Structure 1
Amino acid sequence: MLLNHNQSSLSFHSELYSFVPEDHILRRVHDLVDFSFINDLVKESYCVYYGRPANEPELLFRLLFLQFLYNLSDERVIEDSQYNLAYKWFLGLNPEDSLPDSSQLSRFRVHRLGANRVEKVLEHIVKQCVEKGLIQSKALIIDSTHTLANAAKGKPLDVLKKAANRLLKGVKKQYSSLYKKLPMFPKLEGADEEKAKQLLQYLVELRNLLEDKLPDAEGSLLEKINTVKQIIEDERLLTNKGIASAVDPDARFGRKSNSRTFYGFKNHIAMTEEEIITAIHVTPGNEDDGKQLQTLVNKTREQQITIDEVFADTAYSRKENLTFLQTDEIKASIPLNPAVYGTREDDKFQYDKENDEVICPAGHTSIRKAKTGRTGTGTNPCLTFYFDTNICKQCPFKDGCYNNTKEKTYSISIKSEEHIHQMAYLDSDEYLQRKGLRSNIEHKNAELKNAHRMTRAKYRGQFGMRIQAFLTAFVVNVKRMIKLEMAHSE
């Protein structure tokens, strides 16, 4: 049951709040941001007439704000708010008032907000920025930043063992009589790969039995059953390219660069020139950055923000993105991948346009050509030129060029109309003057990680990562709102 009441009333001790400085950040946040939207956002998750009285959502959401602003745990934010006058003033409580138990924060975050409503939290703060006139630009900057999973990665056999043990313990705790009837943990034999296959078969049998015997399972046990189901259905598990943790099956291996990898999630971010984050899309770490551009642009436009220019790096220069932006007459300030240009300065091959042939560094010309590449893949087709391997075998320059393969080829990308249009824009003075704006999002990524601990996930699973990402973005946007408001008032 949700009670609507004023959180604070006159108190003999209220004079203590005079010690909170007028320029304290929480006073500025309170004056600038309307937190009351949260009551309507979560009201459907409460029963209107029955149940014990619940703490007002705004109080709990303000506690979450403090938690993410100052990087505090559930227990620590409650403890600090009990004696910190600035915190308690911000919460709308009297100095002598008590605070809710820390467990209520977790319930509010997971069950009241959840992964769906928490996205609306970001939309509301962006809406307030628009209403206050803080967003004037029409450019969107897009990038991604990775977050390490809050779980240790393991080999397939370790993942299967962990999942089986967690599920068996969960059944034993809640259904001890059923636990005694479950098939025994198998005796594993052979190499690790064979052991993993044996254990995988055991998990299939265990999952099927529990789904039959416990169709109404819920809570932590249902979570463990679903995790086992997710592991069983992962076709890439045994190849070391799929699920690598039984406690966070959503996390995946991703690449920071060609030589560095990470295990966790990607947060794909869109922000305006004013550095207000307008959209976030959370994916496992192995997802392609370029595929998220259209989602981020559409989510931003849904908030009545006009976009006429998008800044991003080469990862977003795929053909379908250029088509999407050019169709909507949005400038794509996105450098193209060097492969699109069809030139590789280091290999010294030359394309002869007049004769439509390629000349190798030794001066030999190609003998035929063919068009290769599949349509509908988002990449340009290629012209592949073939050389006479009999000549290549005798060539003094063959080291590093020809390795006695059946064919020696050289491919040149066939540029699409979209890429030709993009090349022309990238050569313009307008792009050259504005391309530096893209680097602004690097500062935002650094703030998210260094000031608000987005380097590692606070919670587990993509569900938890979404909650962390959106609440962190809310806090970061509020901080930026204060700076923009101060700049406008000067």
Structure 2
Amino acid sequence: MLRQVQKQMSLHSILYNKISENHILKKINYVVDFSFINKLLEDSYCKNFGRPAKEPEMMCKLLFLQHLYILSDEKVIEEANLNLGYMYFLGINPEDELPDKSLLSKFRTQRLEEATLDEIITEIVRQCVEKGIIGGTSVSVDATHIEANTIRKTPERLMKHLARKIIKTYEKENNQVLEEIPEVPKYKEIEDHTEAKAVMKDYLENVISKVKKNIRKDCSESIKTKETIEKAREIIEDPKFLNQKGVRSIIDEDARVGRKSKNQEFYGYKTEFMMTADERIITSVRTADGAYVDGTYADELIEQTLKSGMKIEEVYGDKAYFRKPILNSIEEIKAKAYIPVSESVYRIDESEFSYNKDSDEWECREGNITVKKKYYKIKGKSRPDREGYKYYFEPEQCKRCPKHDECAKKSARKILQIGLNTIEFYEISQYQKTEEYLEKYKKRASIEGKNAELKRFHGLYRARGYGLLSVSMQSKLAAIAVNIKRIAAIAASKFCIFTLNIKIFSQYYKFCLN
């Protein structure tokens, strides 16, 4: 059960006076009140029975310290037993005992939930808004990749491991050795990759068939073996598996192959976060597998940011976020999007064509103007319907054009076919060439620095555990850690300005008296 009364600080707490006022953990305590965590997690504890539990606030703070200084469970407990700054931040007496490292692990996996971390981030940001630490109305959004805590295996090797796991599970569950096991093919000697995959798939199917036959023969339930077989079937029957886009590890089944660029891949996860552009404080975080498409969680990121009480007037992002649904979501909250036009959705060559919105006409580079417009819709069987407009140039005018033969090679008819949103995107692209936009867009660069900080100094370059839930919690705890650093820095600068103003006023007052 949780303690009902707050502990009184002992005489030994006078040692905390030795901690410098500039210490990051002392400064953050002046700004953020973490006591809300106890209220947030009280329902996960029994209120009236059981021995007194360690306060959720203290346990969460241990996790914050762990990600702030990149420590293991064992190391953070060891350091917290010696470091006065850590003890002060945890809110304990210097002589108090800290929990065992195993309790910290249990708290993280059994008490703390992913949604709870979202609420903690939101409440910290809300307090910053309330106290004036956050005063800006601009946010940036971006995604960064996280390497999985395991290697990616080829489908052949993975099928070999799946077969071995089925055999071992059967033998352990039934306490007998499986006889007449098919010999593992030497797939590495097969030069043709496609053939090697087919050979190993046949081998795995043979193993499954053999094990199933033994289960029926022995009349055993073999529940765990059946579950292992079912999991193996689920993996190999996924069309993405043999194309090397599905599961690549038995240890971490959630990790996927993603792309850093056209020529560079990675294996793991992607974390997407929203951050205030001026103060550089993270307001919301979402994590997905490596194949995640940037911007899919944009609505959730915006919604969580608004929950903190922050007003959003400007949203910054890279080309990946230039999609109509995202632009609409930004428009709904009456904010302005500063996102470069993406060539993948806006397919007009502006060196060839320009648009006049007053007359609703397109003009080619030779001065020919469209004279007719028609709406079109093409129904797609395997892909979404395509719709838009066709603009027709005057045929005679095109015939007299010196570029007629060159254009005829590109299109037999003198038609400009555009998408439904092309005109809107054209107007956006024209604004993005102005000095005003180019100056504003410089704000987005700050999020790249935050990406680097999360990876280099808070361990987000690689997953600590396995599975999407574990990586998601790691990402959110890392976000809280960088927020603690940033909030402390802003609070210190504001305090310095306040102190400087007092000194100036004092000097001016003495001058007036003289």
TM-score range, shorter chain: 0.7 to 0.9
C-alpha change, 1:46 and 1:423, in structure 2 (3 Å) is same
Q: Distance in 2 between matches of 1:170 and 1:181?
A: 11
Q: Distance in 2 between matches of 1:482 and 1:227?
A: 48
How far is the alpha carbon of 1:456 from its aligned partner?
0.7
Q: Indicate whether 1:322 and 2:327 are aligned.
A: yes
Q: Distance in 1 between matches of 2:141 and 2:212?
A: 42
How far is the alpha carbon of 1:372 from its aligned partner?
8.2
The structure 1 residue matched to 2:268, chosen from 264, 271, 280, is: 264
The structure 2 residue matched to 1:450, chosen from 456, 480, 487, is: 456
Please tell me whether the aligned partners of residues 362 and 391 of structure 2 are also in contact (alpha carbons under 8 angstroms): no
Residue 493 (structure 2) aligns with: 487
Q: Distance in 2 between matches of 1:461 and 1:313?
A: 28
Q: Distance in 2 between matches of 1:227 and 1:7?
A: 50
Residue 254 (structure 1) aligns with: 258
Q: Indicate whether 1:275 and 2:274 are aligned.
A: no
Q: Indicate whether 1:337 and 2:345 are aligned.
A: no
Q: Distance in 2 between matches of 1:47 and 1:229?
A: 42
Please tell me whether the aligned partners of residues 314 and 338 of structure 2 are also in contact (alpha carbons under 8 angstroms): yes
How far is the alpha carbon of 1:446 from its aligned partner?
1.1
The structure 1 residue matched to 2:475, chosen from 427, 447, 469, is: 469
The structure 2 residue matched to 1:194, chosen from 187, 193, 198, is: 198
How far is the alpha carbon of 1:45 from its aligned partner?
1.9
Partner SS, residue 251 of structure 2: coil
Q: Deviations over 1:378-416 (max 9, x none)?
A: 98758699xxxxxxxxxxx99xxx9xxxx9999864362
C-alpha change, 1:324 and 1:64, in structure 2 (3 Å) is closer
Q: Distance in 2 between matches of 1:377 and 1:324?
A: 21
Q: Distance in 1 between matches of 2:447 and 2:298?
A: 15
Letter in 1 for 2:312: I
How far is the alpha carbon of 1:358 from its aligned partner?
8.9
Letter in 2 for 1:337: S
Q: Distance in 2 between matches of 1:223 and 1:41?
A: 37
Please tell me whether the aligned partners of residues 207 and 228 of structure 1 are also in contact (alpha carbons under 8 angstroms): no
Residue 92 (structure 2) aligns with: 93
Please tell me whether the aligned partners of residues 320 and 378 of structure 1 are also in contact (alpha carbons under 8 angstroms): no
Residue 109 (structure 2) aligns with: 110
Unaligned runs of 5+ in 2: 188-194, 367-373, 393-404, 498-514
Please tell me whether the aligned partners of residues 322 and 418 of structure 1 are also in contact (alpha carbons under 8 angstroms): no
Q: Deviations over 1:82-119 (max 9, x none)?
A: 22222223223333332211111111111111323222
Matches within 5 A, 1:91-490: 91-163=90-162, 165-166=164-165, 176-178=172-174, 180=176, 186-189=182-185, 192-198=196-202, 201=205, 213=221, 228=232, 231=235, 234-273=238-277, 274-338=279-343, 342-344=347-349, 377=384, 413-414=418-419, 416=421, 417-489=423-495, 490=497
C-alpha change, 1:322 and 1:168, in structure 2 (3 Å) is same
Letter in 2 for 1:419: F
- Number of matched pairs: 455
C-alpha change, 1:36 and 1:315, in structure 2 (3 Å) is same
Unaligned runs of 5+ in 1: 361-368, 386-396
* Aligned-pair Cα RMSD in Å: 4.2
Q: Deviations over 1:33-69 (max 9, x none)?
A: 2121221222222233444442221221111111111
Q: Distance in 1 between matches of 2:32 and 2:17?
A: 21
How far is the alpha carbon of 1:370 from its aligned partner?
12
Q: Indicate whether 1:47 and 2:46 are aligned.
A: yes
Letter in 2 for 1:141: S
Q: Distance in 1 between matches of 2:183 and 2:355?
A: 67
Q: Distance in 2 between matches of 1:188 and 1:3?
A: 59
Q: Distance in 2 between matches of 1:229 and 1:94?
A: 55
C-alpha change, 1:240 and 1:203, in structure 2 (3 Å) is farther
Please tell me whether the aligned partners of residues 140 and 270 of structure 1 are also in contact (alpha carbons under 8 angstroms): yes
Residue 70 (structure 2) aligns with: 71
Partner SS, residue 325 of structure 1: helix
Letter in 2 for 1:247: I
C-alpha change, 1:410 and 1:144, in structure 2 (3 Å) is farther
Q: Distance in 1 between matches of 2:206 and 2:51?
A: 44
Partner SS, residue 279 of structure 1: strand
Q: Distance in 2 between matches of 1:183 and 1:308?
A: 69
Please tell me whether the aligned partners of residues 82 and 99 of structure 1 are also in contact (alpha carbons under 8 angstroms): yes
C-alpha change, 1:166 and 1:197, in structure 2 (3 Å) is closer
Letter in 2 for 1:458: R
Q: Distance in 1 between matches of 2:413 and 2:154?
A: 39
Please tell me whether the aligned partners of residues 170 and 222 of structure 2 are also in contact (alpha carbons under 8 angstroms): no
Residue 402 (structure 2) aligns with: none
Q: Distance in 2 between matches of 1:311 and 1:194?
A: 47
Residue 502 (structure 2) aligns with: none
Please tell me whether the aligned partners of residues 126 and 310 of structure 2 are also in contact (alpha carbons under 8 angstroms): no
C-alpha change, 1:234 and 1:111, in structure 2 (3 Å) is farther
How far is the alpha carbon of 1:307 from its aligned partner?
1.6
C-alpha change, 1:247 and 1:384, in structure 2 (3 Å) is farther
Letter in 1 for 2:10: L
Partner SS, residue 287 of structure 1: coil
Please tell me whether the aligned partners of residues 162 and 204 of structure 2 are also in contact (alpha carbons under 8 angstroms): no
Letter in 1 for 2:468: Q
Partner SS, residue 236 of structure 1: helix
Partner SS, residue 154 of structure 1: coil
- Give the number of the structure whose alpha-carbon radius of gyration is greater: 2
Out of 265-274 and 176-185, give the one that drifted further.
176-185
How far is the alpha carbon of 1:17 from its aligned partner?
3.4
Letter in 2 for 1:101: D
Q: Distance in 1 between matches of 2:321 and 2:470?
A: 26
Q: Deviations over 1:271-325 (max 9, x none)?
A: 1122111111111111111333233222222333222221111111112222333
Q: Distance in 2 between matches of 1:114 and 1:193?
A: 40
Please tell me whether the aligned partners of residues 371 and 384 of structure 1 are also in contact (alpha carbons under 8 angstroms): no
Q: Distance in 1 between matches of 2:26 and 2:363?
A: 71
How far is the alpha carbon of 1:426 from its aligned partner?
2.3
Q: Distance in 2 between matches of 1:325 and 1:479?
A: 29
